Structure 1
Amino acid sequence: MSGTALDGAVAVVHVIRGEADDGPHLTHGRGSFTAPALDLDRLVWPRSEPGPAFHVPVAEIVELLVETGEALRADRDGLLAEALDRMAPVSRLPAEILERAYAALWRSFRRPSLYAQIDHELGGADVLDGWREVRLPEGRVAATRAFPPRLVHIIAGNAPGVAAMSVVRGALTKGVNLLKLPSNDLFTATAILRTMAAVAPGHPVVRSFSAVYWRGGDESVESVLFRPQFFDKLVAWGGEGTIRGALRYVGPGFELVSFDPKTSISLIGREAFASAEALARAADAGAADAAFFNQQACVASRFQFVEGSPEEADRYAALLCERLGVAREFSSAGGPRVPAELREEIDVLRSMEPDYRVWGGYDGTGLVIRSSEPVDFHPDGKIVNVVPVGALSEAVAHAGVATQTVGVFPDSRKTELRDALACAGVQRVVSLGGAGGMPPGLSHDGFYPLQRLMRWVNDE
């Protein structure tokens, strides 16, 4: 099955234990696509025996991932091209962003990135390959091991990199992995897994992965699979509905690892107004953060707090709007048109000058609203709300546990703000313009993913 159309519907490929599923298809999505019927017994690995990769050395897994990355980069079998062809007509992202995102997938498989995760999150490969001796108080000696887990991944489809990240993390754990394909990206994960299978057919890591689609919340599937006799942890990405649905199944022996829904903001210090050049740099960096994946990613800035007067904030907002329409690696010059209901609300704000000012139109190239307080709707599709503040410390009150990334300009102001932001619940403070792309080996959403995914076992 290579994704051919059946009666006008796109055929989605399933991967079962490293092999493409050629079983009979069922129709999904009001007839828009078909996918193989699920055999739930084939989607679990019995606990009576170790997973295929439980005893594979980390060095061998890294080599396989590096080779997979090179194969993705070359795409000799056309699997990524095939996935891209099927994604482009249905994705919220423009084809040009998808093309560049697919072209960058191989970067997640680079050797330095893989070892950065192993070294920084787990303290080295020894605890994956065997037992690490630890010294305890009173001269006692024990051993600990990061034991391979059994994982179900509910992955998000807002950016193709989530699938690559999930495959890499799943492989490095040595565990068994069932990936649920999201309805807004039915193709990326299986293209990556099929590429890995072409690199090393039948390899234990390859046989440790399955990727299939079912409708989210389908109790006939989830009530069977989401059980501790089959899996240790549910790794869930997504909105509030996805996370609350996952919580229904959490209990003793079955843990939730949640990448919660997040939003991100920016803090622009008064230093931006020291010169025209400084203001241009700040606006360009603020636009880069706001437009990342056309604001479809959690790291994309939606609210930007400017230390200065309303007039200074207006100067910044005008430049920001211009730069939102600049194409970058992971943003396009244009985007989706602003929905009618949101246009009506913004039109009301336009009529309320000077309390509000609005720059830009509704064509998706970018729109900026300046207001004295954050607007009460969710800016989306390259819409940014600029809010003037007397001091950046005042903006900390607008951060919370749902705030993932905060970009700060200039860099020198991060030190004075980061503790207060962390106290408010923020998970990530970056230089303005650096929100996109998380360096491997650092925490993600407030925890170290590899460390959290493992099953930690002691020998005392």
Structure 2
Amino acid sequence: MSGTTLDSTAADPVAVVHVIRGAIDEGPRTEHGSRQSAFTAPVLDLDRLVWPRTEPGPAFHVPTAEIVDLLVETGEALKADRQGLLAEALDRMIHVSPLPAEVLERAYAALWRSFRRPGLYAQIDHELGGADVLDGWREVRLPEGRVAATRAFPPRLVHIIAGNAPGVAATSVVRGALTKGVNLLKLPSNDLFTATAILRTMAAVAPGHPVVRSFSAVYWRGGDETVESVLFRPQFFDKLVAWGGEATIRGALRYVGPGFELVSFDPKTSISLIGREAFESPRTLAEAAEAGAADATFFNQQACVASRFQFVEGTVEEADRYAALLCERLGVAREFSSAAGPRVPAALREEIDVLRSLAPEYRAWGGYDGRGLVVRSPEPVDFHPDGKIVDVVPVSDLSEAVAHAGVATQTVGVYPDTRKPELRDALACAGVQRVVSLGGAGGMPPGLSHDGFYPLQRLMRWVNDE
């Protein structure tokens, strides 16, 4: 997920904050970016970004209940934002993010939801089987009467977080805190503010708390070997938690080796499957189109869960009816989408214009103003629909659409719900990680798997006493 640096029109570059072990870094600064888009950040002291293995991390022995209480208080503080830390971060994000201001505002207003108590315990209970394995050793009965013990031991983590949605920063902080480990967050160039605003809010809630001291968040240019070749070593960290595009993941793989593991949230795309039941009545067709549009416009299609290809079970004429109504609904503002997204780039406009000339085999609805565009094609188009563009493909049976899913397909929305049982095993076999009711792609309930694994379980270091 590629970044953009600050578009600073002021005389002085914007100052980016670093947090080192829970405290703001007040050290000397250096400039990043170009002359037209520059920002400053504190000079990195790599020694301060690692925790020696000769001693436990600050929060290794803090009870889980205390950590949950701190996270809940942090969520309430984010919601109130009495110190204006989120407001300051939002003001700076508006000038650099590809997302419209109204979407960012609603996303920031929702950050506190990641810190609610039921969701925190859902992760602990569903992913780890309870807090006992975090707070101590869980007894395990083995065959032949043997007894062993196991513990989810706190890890040492580097997080390369993505900046396509502010919630990624919140999720990373929550997961890092629940592990009790030490955490170094690399700030993405397209979101230099959210993670530090959250950590500064946590520090204001509980100054000097062991969990607060377990976090650092800093910026360096992705792929900078002078930084990464030093930090990405097993003597300092156990795991590299990487979100991002192919370049980010391939760059991270260079450092993976014995004792240093990659936990990857790979780049994904998502699709929708609309059954023939959508055409039973005008009501069902409108219901399906609204749900399909909600999935397609989540974070204006910047998120992995956003649907880009929608397969419609029916004739070409029926697919056209659905596509026309879908296009109308793409231009509706929702909690995490705006009525208008970015204008369609010139190169993509030219490609779609060619498809328009190939009617009736291809057909298109909508314009290039960012309010939504739908292409109906006999096979999936070979370009990447983005910025509220959807490709609708008619199929005679939804099972045919399974062939277009693969390991890079994250979420599949299905309409109606009753069709999911017949499709989910085949979709899972194809590599899909998530099957949802159409309209429910946005967001992921805490405590369920993410990208095919349980994050907390994967982040921990599992140790046995046999």
TM class by smaller structure? over 0.9
CA distance in 1, matches of 2:461, 2:11: 45
SS of the equivalent of 1:265 reads strand
Aligned to 1:19: 23
Q: Which amino acid aligns with 2:135?
A: D
When residues 220 and 361 of structure 1 are mapped into structure 2, their CA distance, relative to the original with a 3 A threshold, is same
Q: Which amino acid aligns with 2:191?
A: D
2:161 aligned residue (155, 158, 166): 155
1:370 aligned residue (356, 373, 376): 376
In the TM superposition, residue 6 of structure 1 has moved relative to its aligned partner by 8.2
Aligned to 1:333: 339
Number of matched pairs: 457
CA distance in 2, matches of 1:63, 1:177: 19
Aligned to 2:45: 39
Q: Which amino acid aligns with 1:61?
A: I
Q: Which amino acid aligns with 2:166?
A: P
Normalised TM-score (structure 2): 0.97
CA distance in 1, matches of 2:397, 2:212: 53
SS of the equivalent of 1:385 reads strand
Aligned to 2:3: none
SS of the equivalent of 1:53 reads coil
Aligned to 1:391: 397
2:131 aligned residue (125, 129, 153): 125
CA distance in 1, matches of 2:342, 2:33: 22
Structure 1 unaligned regions, length at least 5: none
CA distance in 1, matches of 2:66, 2:178: 10
SS of the equivalent of 2:456 reads helix
CA distance in 1, matches of 2:244, 2:330: 26
1:28 aligned residue (23, 32, 37): 32
Aligned to 1:69: 75
In the TM superposition, residue 351 of structure 1 has moved relative to its aligned partner by 0.7
Aligned to 1:98: 104
Per-residue displacement from partner, 1:377-428 (whole Å, max 9, x unpaired)?
A: 0000000000000000000000000000000000000000000000000000
CA distance in 2, matches of 1:172, 1:84: 26
Q: Which amino acid aligns with 2:442?
A: G
CA distance in 2, matches of 1:240, 1:254: 20
1:42-441 to 2 correspondences below 5 Å: 42-441=48-447
Q: Which amino acid aligns with 2:196?
A: T
Q: Which amino acid aligns with 1:110?
A: R
2:12 aligned residue (8, 13, 19): 8
Structure 2 unaligned regions, length at least 5: 1-7
8 Å Cα contact 1:6/1:34 also seen in 2 = no
Q: Which amino acid aligns with 1:316?
A: Y
In the TM superposition, residue 218 of structure 1 has moved relative to its aligned partner by 0.1
CA distance in 1, matches of 2:340, 2:10: 33
In the TM superposition, residue 13 of structure 1 has moved relative to its aligned partner by 0.2
SS of the equivalent of 1:157 reads coil
8 Å Cα contact 1:235/1:256 also seen in 2 = yes
In the TM superposition, residue 25 of structure 1 has moved relative to its aligned partner by 1.0
Per-residue displacement from partner, 1:84-132 (whole Å, max 9, x unpaired)?
A: 0000011000000000000000000000000000000000000000000
8 Å Cα contact 1:97/1:293 also seen in 2 = yes
CA distance in 2, matches of 1:26, 1:145: 42
SS of the equivalent of 1:297 reads coil
SS of the equivalent of 2:445 reads coil
Per-residue displacement from partner, 1:269-328 (whole Å, max 9, x unpaired)?
A: 000000000000000000000000000000000000000000000000000000000000
Q: Which amino acid aligns with 2:432?
A: V
Cα RMSD over matched residues?
0.9
Percent identity of the aligned residues?
A: 88
In the TM superposition, residue 8 of structure 1 has moved relative to its aligned partner by 2.5
